[in-house]
């Protein structure tokens, strides 16, 4: 299958870059004007797409780009109502079909291996799994008091605000933002200031919201939240003293 639009690996899921799709669709409008209009059709930052900035050829002013899911890419292609849009949508459907075939093949290979195993080998695997379950259960009991201690910090959706993480690490919120910008984890300027670069996104979540100004104009702002894994990631990045591990809630 010819690669009409490069397919990206986004934490194991297929995705494409917004600018690659924009180029293939031959959209006449500037990317920075076109993409917000596409988002307005009901797509959400952090769920359907992730924003990041890159420097063309490693130099010059950074430009905005997005990693978008294949589902979002298919809908955007359909919205265009052009032959290019139809071609892109069919291409993405074919990419998904190929990926599903590969997964099905992997499952069949596993079944084939299991079918060839002896009864004693299967029993040993079951025993090992039970031992791991008991060890995990014991660890969870040990972490219960820590989970209660952190419950006052956690948001309803299981994420932590940057301010809460700053408290855990014993530093001020503004200083934490500044340090993360200085070491290149957070974007330092522009509309996405204080949000993480794409390579660190797995430790964070960015939520977009609209602000209505006194003149009735609107602008989009972004708030960064920290995943449980991001707390120790930040601590190590900033060489801060060790803290008790955050239990998985």
| Stretch 190-206: mean pLDDT | 90
Is residue 106 pLDDT above 80, yes or no?
A: no
| Stretch 132-149: mean pLDDT | 64
Query: If pLDDT is split at 50, 70 and 90, which confidence band does 39 have?
Result: very high
Query: Residue 232: its pLDDT value, please?
Result: 87
Query: Residue 153: its pLDDT value, please?
Result: 58
Query: Residue 248: its pLDDT value, please?
Result: 44
Long-range contacts at 25-30 (CB < 8 A, ≥ 24 apart): 25/77, 25/80, 25/82, 25/84, 25/85, 25/88, 26/82, 26/84, 27/80
116/198: higher pLDDT: 198
* pLDDT tens string 216-226: 777 788 889 99
Query: Residue 145: its pLDDT value, please?
Result: 57
Sheet holding 204-212, edge to edge: 160-161, 218-226, 204-212
Query: If pLDDT is split at 50, 70 and 90, which confidence band does 59 have?
Result: low
| Stretch 13-22: mean pLDDT | 94
Which residues have CB under 8 Å from 118's CB, separation 6+?
Answer: none
Query: If pLDDT is split at 50, 70 and 90, which confidence band does 247 have?
Result: very low
């Amino acid at each position: 299958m010819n690669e009409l639009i490069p397919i990206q690996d986004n934490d194991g899921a297929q995705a494409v870059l917004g600018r690659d799709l924009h180029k293939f669709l031959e959209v006449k409008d500037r990317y920075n004007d076109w993409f917000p209009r596409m988002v307005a059709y009901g797509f959400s930052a952090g769920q359907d797409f992730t924003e990041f900035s890159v420097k063309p050829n490693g130099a010059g002013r950074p430009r905005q780009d997005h990693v978008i899911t294949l589902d979002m890419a298919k809908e955007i292609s359909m919205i265009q109502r052009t032959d290019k849009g139809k071609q892109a949508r069919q291409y993405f459907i074919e990419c998904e079909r190929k990926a599903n075939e590969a997964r099905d093949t992997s499952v069949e290979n596993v079944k084939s291996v299991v079918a060839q195993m002896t009864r004693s080998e299967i029993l040993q695997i079951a025993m090992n799994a039970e031992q791991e379950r008991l060890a995990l259960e014991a660890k969870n009991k040990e972490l219960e008091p820590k989970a209660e201690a952190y419950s006052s910090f956690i948001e309803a959706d299981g994420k932590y605000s940057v301010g809460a993480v700053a408290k855990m690490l014993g530093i001020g919120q503004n200083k934490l933002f500044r340090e993360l910008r200085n070491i290149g984890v957070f974007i330092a300027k522009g509309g996405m200031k204080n949000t993480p670069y794409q390579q660190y996104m797995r430790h964070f979540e960015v939520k977009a919201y609209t602000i209505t100004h006194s003149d009735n104009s609107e602008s989009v702002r972004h708030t960064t939240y920290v995943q449980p894994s991001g707390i120790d990631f930040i601590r190590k990045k900033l060489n801060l003293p060790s803290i008790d591990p955050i239990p998985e809630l």
